[in-house]
Structure 1
């Protein structure tokens, strides 16, 4: 009996010691963080730089508190080629662009010039009633005019389609117009169009082309295996991964599902509805009201919608840089539209090289050592023959003019050579 009592007492004391013993650093490590499977596809030491952030910030490594955030642009960042382009191409080839209200193209954008509206009116005519599909598969002139707006923001005769009065750090009128062109459709119908265009683009062989109006256009898109692997690894490491695109939200949602990012974590141009149908106006952010059509996920607008949707910041403060502890740990992008979102990342900033001036100026300058420049994983560009004009004209001001690119301390970034390429 005495022996039994001693055993019980010893067991209680031992158990108590286990419960009350102070935690060590080793105790906080849950398990090794998952590793990138396709690390060999990354340039130089980029995979190691990315893996260190995963190891340090991932919940797999014992990190406590809110889940770390990663944000990715979509077109030419997660996939090769542009999903909005392919959606517009598909719409033009399948008669899915609707005649605007009153056959007046000014209703499709508050920034549209008379020259742009008149060119579209003349090319597409008034025979089709408002809200009905234009026969762009047969009316080559109409298809060409619409295509010119999408690709060049100019008429086929070379006139400017948008007046440039918008804030060029908050939005790009020609990008917004792609979403506004969906006016009259239900969200589910726009997703169905995007899904059909996606299927065709993924089925087309790499290098395939298609006829759109009188033009020959790219017909294919592919997911980058290395980025898909990175997003998978981030998920396993406990990161909350978001897509932040300057494409219509519905298009981004359809494509993002292919890498496991759900609609609830997909940010794109958000169109407003009336009676369940898109009305041609856009959601606001940063104190800019819904329907003012003055901001979208573009340059500083990407920060705004991340702060609003991901971080829950309210009001005008959505346009300000969030406190460091709350910001994304990792970000990936390929163009100047991503520069503010990338700059806000506190761990690593992945820049896929598409020769975009402001982005590459900041990435090559690499003032804080957190940039990871990588050639595109499919059909990377060769070395740029010129230097990036960082010291003179690579920064786009809010009014559309250009200026030197400056570091956070105000000093000017010198011109940069293109050193990471295919």
Structure 2
């Protein structure tokens, strides 16, 4: 099914109109743009291309002087938003197959939340046969590879024991995401970028749909840039937008890939590792807002993506960086595919672009479409089938800072009802 989405129920029309009036920016209006204005191409679901084009025409250079004093901004998640499949995982895969993970003195020291059980599992599987700081033989030691991949993918050891425990803000970080750059501690940024370039070449050459086996894990072997997203970014650039990537991946890895769509390092935001005096990656990362450098407590993840956008793009400092800003200090277009993207995508004033991967909180926001600006598109390659049943918006779609699940609420406090998957 390829239409944009079902219309809102008339029973909530009055609420919708009121909510729209409260939002800071007016919805885009169809403009009579000159014929030489940058135009989108490629296949989009339903009227999505027209909606995005409307925002580009009304906010970009074809709109003339907007009086805002700065270029309009668009921001996108990277993995499974601009590309099909995860580029950080592709880099981990390549590194494991080429013995590029260095043995830590203690696995427990790689993360603030790694459990004793995970420390024992990794020590047992990966061994102590090589000196600390030298490469682990993961290309031949499938048990070590299995433990690392399982912890990265599920947050559990191969035996099913929790790999992370303790307290963290579940809207600012998730330990297994923060653990990825921590795995590369001891390497330089240049070395990690080199691994990412090798992984990129390999993944782009692999056939669409191909997989490989690492230990007992089957992982995607390929990555592709989405043609439609590449064209969208190119069109936004031509229309005078500043375009940023905001990812929960490792920044050196994301930078290697973002260059392929014309986005430079200065416009690529991801997990930024703190370096030691020799210029090598440590298990600490840079902080955001009022959170100083830390061991993974504040990464570009859910509310963290808003913080990094506010801080790095709009210059908002301190605790205010965690808060929604006025319309002039928010993006015009934002796009993502997962719950980790929901906060910054919802902050956009012109279009909230969603690639449907059946993630509860993001899809509940998108299908509720409270401001009429949500643009839902199936995955451009190998789209998922329709989600069976309803999204549990009214009961468990929202993840609280303490990790508990609860109902998703609109700005006025009302609860979003359970909603069906209609764009797939």
Query: Which residue number corresponds to residue 311 of structure 2?
Result: 308
Could you list the runs of 5+ residues in structure 2 that have no partner in the other structure? 1-32
Instruction: Kindly indicate whether the alpha-carbon contact (under 8 Å) linking 2:353 and 2:375 is maintained by their aligned counterparts in 1.
Output: yes
Distance 1:415 1:201 in 2: 38
Distance 2:37 2:65 in 1: 11
Distance 1:338 1:34 in 2: 27
Give 1:1-400 correspondences, 5 Å limit: 32-38=36-42, 41-64=43-66, 65-100=69-104, 102=105, 104-275=106-277, 276-400=279-403
Query: Which residue number corresponds to residue 16 of structure 1?
Result: none
Query: What's the offset of the Cα at 1:292?
Result: 4.7
For residues 46-102 of structure 1, give each alpha carbon's deviation from its aligned partner in whole angstroms, at most 9, with x where no partner exists: 1111001000000232034200000000000000011111111111111111101x2
Instruction: Kindly indicate whether the alpha-carbon contact (under 8 Å) linking 1:30 and 1:62 is maintained by their aligned counterparts in 2.
Output: no
Distance 2:46 2:211 in 1: 33
For residues 324-347 of structure 1, give each alpha carbon's deviation from its aligned partner in whole angstroms, at most 9, with x where no partner exists: 111100001000000001011000
Instruction: Give SS of 1:235's match.
Output: helix
Distance 2:282 2:50 in 1: 47
Moved runs in structure 1, 4+ residues, more than 2 A? 29-33
Instruction: Kindly indicate whether the alpha-carbon contact (under 8 Å) linking 2:283 and 2:295 is maintained by their aligned counterparts in 1.
Output: no
Instruction: Kindly indicate whether the alpha-carbon contact (under 8 Å) linking 1:33 and 1:58 is maintained by their aligned counterparts in 2.
Output: no
Larger Rg computed on CA atoms = 1
Instruction: Give SS of 2:133's match.
Output: coil
For residues 1-35 of structure 1, give each alpha carbon's deviation from its aligned partner in whole angstroms, at most 9, with x where no partner exists: xxxxxxxxxxxxxxxxxxxxxxxxxxxx9985211
Distance 2:359 2:286 in 1: 27
Could you list the runs of 5+ residues in structure 1 that have no partner in the other structure? 1-28
Distance 2:344 2:387 in 1: 24
Instruction: Give SS of 2:352's match.
Output: strand
Instruction: Kindly indicate whether the alpha-carbon contact (under 8 Å) linking 1:131 and 1:184 is maintained by their aligned counterparts in 2.
Output: yes
Query: Which residue number corresponds to residue 12 of structure 1?
Result: none
If the length of structure 2 is used for normalisation, what is the TM-score? 0.90
Distance 1:135 1:37 in 2: 47
Query: Which residue number corresponds to residue 13 of structure 2?
Result: none
Moved more, 212-221 or 148-157: 212-221
Instruction: Give SS of 2:419's match.
Output: coil
Query: What's the offset of the Cα at 1:164?
Result: 4.6
Instruction: Give SS of 1:245's match.
Output: strand
Query: What's the offset of the Cα at 1:218?
Result: 1.1
Query: What's the offset of the Cα at 1:291?
Result: 2.6
Aligned pair in 2 of structure 1 residues 409, 153: CA closer, same or farther (>3 Å)? same
Q: Higher RCO, 1 or 2 (CA under 8 Å, sep at least 6)?
A: 2
For residues 160-193 of structure 1, give each alpha carbon's deviation from its aligned partner in whole angstroms, at most 9, with x where no partner exists: 1111511000011100100111110111111001
Query: Which residue number corresponds to residue 401 of structure 1?
Result: 404
Distance 1:32 1:314 in 2: 40
Instruction: Kindly indicate whether the alpha-carbon contact (under 8 Å) linking 2:204 and 2:223 is maintained by their aligned counterparts in 1.
Output: yes
Aligned length: 389
If the length of structure 1 is used for normalisation, what is the TM-score? 0.91
Instruction: Give SS of 2:420's match.
Output: coil
Instruction: Kindly indicate whether the alpha-carbon contact (under 8 Å) linking 2:94 and 2:199 is maintained by their aligned counterparts in 1.
Output: yes
Instruction: Give SS of 1:154's match.
Output: coil
For residues 251-285 of structure 1, give each alpha carbon's deviation from its aligned partner in whole angstroms, at most 9, with x where no partner exists: 11000000000000000001000120011101111
Alpha carbon RMSD of aligned pairs, Å?
1.2
Distance 2:237 2:163 in 1: 42
Instruction: Kindly indicate whether the alpha-carbon contact (under 8 Å) linking 2:111 and 2:295 is maintained by their aligned counterparts in 1.
Output: no
